[in-house]
Amino acid sequence: MALTGTKTFKNFIGGEWVDAGSGETFESVSPATGDVLGQFPRSSAEDVDRAVAAARAAWEEWRLVPAPERGTILYRFANLLIENKDDLTDLMTREMGKVKAEAGGDVQEAIDMTLYMAGEGRRMFGQTTPSELRDKFMMSVRMPIGVVGAITPWNFPIAIPSWKLAPALVCGNTIVFKPAEDTPLLAERFVELLQEAGLPNGVVNIVHGFGEDAGEALVRHPDVPVITFTGSRETGVRVTHTAADQLKIVHLELGGKNGIIVLDDADLDLAVEGIVWSAFGTSGQRCTAASRVIVQDGAYEELQSRLVAAAERLRLGYGWDDDTDVGPVINKAALEKIHSYTEIGKDEGAKLLTGGEVASGNGFDKGNFYRPTVFGDVDPQMRIAQEEIFGPTTALIRVRDADEAIRVSNGIKYGLSSSIYTRDVNKAFRAMRDLAAGITYINAGTIGAEVHLPFGGTKDTGNGHREAGQAALDVFTEWKSIYVDYSGKLQKAQIDNLKPGA
């Protein structure tokens, strides 16, 4: 695919492609080569105001479009994603850096989510329940809310926008979308395809730019009652503060420090494969990545040596090359942060077993490449075992038994994904009950959630909401309870009804 070069892209507001009011721009830079892929509008509050006004106006009509019809547009969008899957995949290897198979998986996740949510147009079930009174009917229905502000990260540049936009749209909301500044080109393609699917003007609007100006203005805007945000814990707290005065619905998907437990009785080959995939897939840049491996004494030495050997076999390189296992990390700041944690780990007394350095030579200097890194003898309280690194670094922690393993796994502020490798069904069921996380895997790593179960975490990973599956509808609709009295007379609930025993 030809790189886009220095083409200048625009915001999409009310069905028109427009520059930022200020005329300022920023660049999208490939993390693999440092090439500039395009210029994007650096938007500010005035651009956000225009986008919200367009979304608000479009909502008056969009909320009245029957949900199955809204679903039909999403089916068309899913088909466009399928037709464009190869191009989007290739572009993702260049703009975001992940390897081809995973980039294809990212697009596939968007296809799956869009198809699932399109089907929701013909479900979106409410409840009916008998009234306590005669000649009276009761039901609850899901109501659209209005303009949704969607702020998405760069690590799943096609999948995560679909997690937010597809359910929001099928539920009858309109959107102002502020994608990550590291992957604006993929976001722009996403919106182009949505529009091509037949969305009326103003239903989806995209405003490019940075969190501190465009993002902040969106979160603050009085006509945006719902904010859905995926990103860091720190930004999530800031979003919550900013939205608090207006009592907005705030959906947050934040960090993780996910652990894989390996007990003595585990199938170690299977465990090593799962750890490698979960720790180094997407160069560790998933909120579900396994950045801790909690190993029972009897398996520790063997697992450690097999894991280090497997990590050393991984081939670092460009995402678009077939023989690459691990691609670059997103930008220079991420590279520095990841390396600073290697220094922290060494200072804390953990044993650096492999990796721990920026890759150089071989064209690597132009991009942001970090060697897959494994620390051994890590104490659960060390910073490398507590803080989210978001890179290809994992920490081996030794424990005595299953109870200690679960205590250590839970001993962090986050609660997104968790995993246990064991052949003991009793221990597996205890882990399912006791691991304090939104997701638990048995005999599988910590990544790879499917689109039709709730996705999200406990504790500091979020604020109680979930995306994906049926749970997503709770973020993008509000319940309305409706009572229909067809008795033709005044009936008084709690007074006119029959009391038990009366």
**Which residues are near ligand UN1 by CB under 6 A?**
109, 155-156, 230, 286-288, 447-449
Give 294's strand partners: 261, 397
- Burial of 136 by CB count in 10 Å (0-12 exposed, 13-18 middle, 19+ buried)? middle
Extract the tokens encoding 99: 């390897």
Report the candidate in 417, 410, 414 with the shortest Cα–Cα distance to residue 453. Answer: 417
Closest CB to ligand UN1 among residues 9, 116: 116
Closest CB to ligand UN1 among residues 230, 304: 230
- Burial of 262 by CB count in 10 Å (0-12 exposed, 13-18 middle, 19+ buried)? buried
Q: How far is the CB of 372 from ligand UN1 (least distance, A)?
A: 17
Closest CB to ligand UN1 among residues 225, 259: 259
Q: How far is the CB of 109 from ligand UN1 (least distance, A)?
A: 6
d(CA 240, CA 151): 13
Is the CB of residue 160 less than 8 Å from the CB of residue 153? yes
Q: How far is the CB of 422 from ligand UN1 (least distance, A)?
A: 21
Residues designated as active site = 253, 287
Q: How far is the CB of 289 from ligand UN1 (least distance, A)?
A: 7
Q: How far is the CB of 334 from ligand UN1 (least distance, A)?
A: 14
Closest CB to ligand UN1 among residues 59, 414: 414
Closest CB to ligand UN1 among residues 11, 461: 461
Extract the tokens encoding 255: 């960090």
Cα angle 342, 347, 351; round to 5: 65
According to DSSP H, which parts of 384-483 are helical?
402-410, 425-434, 472-476
Report the candidate in 162, 163, 161 with the shortest Cα–Cα distance to residue 151. Answer: 161
Closest CB to ligand UN1 among residues 57, 436: 436
Extract the tokens encoding 9: 């892209």
Q: At what angle do helices 67-83 and 184-196 cross, to 10 degrees?
A: 120
Q: How far is the CB of 105 from ligand UN1 (least distance, A)?
A: 8
Is the CB of residue 316 less than 8 Å from the CB of residue 369? yes
Would residue 335 be called left, alpha or beta, if left means φ above 0 and alpha means ψ between -120 and 50 degrees? alpha
Q: How far is the CB of 41 from ligand UN1 (least distance, A)?
A: 26
Mapped onto helix, strand or coil, the DSSP state of residue 169 is helix
Closest CB to ligand UN1 among residues 225, 469: 469
Q: How far is the CB of 363 from ligand UN1 (least distance, A)?
A: 27
Cα angle 163, 167, 169; round to 5: 120
Phi/psi of residue 310, nearest 5 degrees: -65, -40
Closest CB to ligand UN1 among residues 144, 392: 392
Closest CB to ligand UN1 among residues 214, 449: 449
Q: How far is the CB of 258 from ligand UN1 (least distance, A)?
A: 10
Is the CB of residue 304 less than 8 Å from the CB of residue 298? no
End-to-end CA distance of the chain: give it in Å, rounded.
78
339: CB partners within 8 A, 6+ apart: 357, 358, 370
CA dist 262 → 255, 273, 398, 439 (Å): 23, 12, 10, 17
Is the CB of residue 228 less than 8 Å from the CB of residue 475? yes
Is the CB of residue 128 less than 8 Å from the CB of residue 139? yes
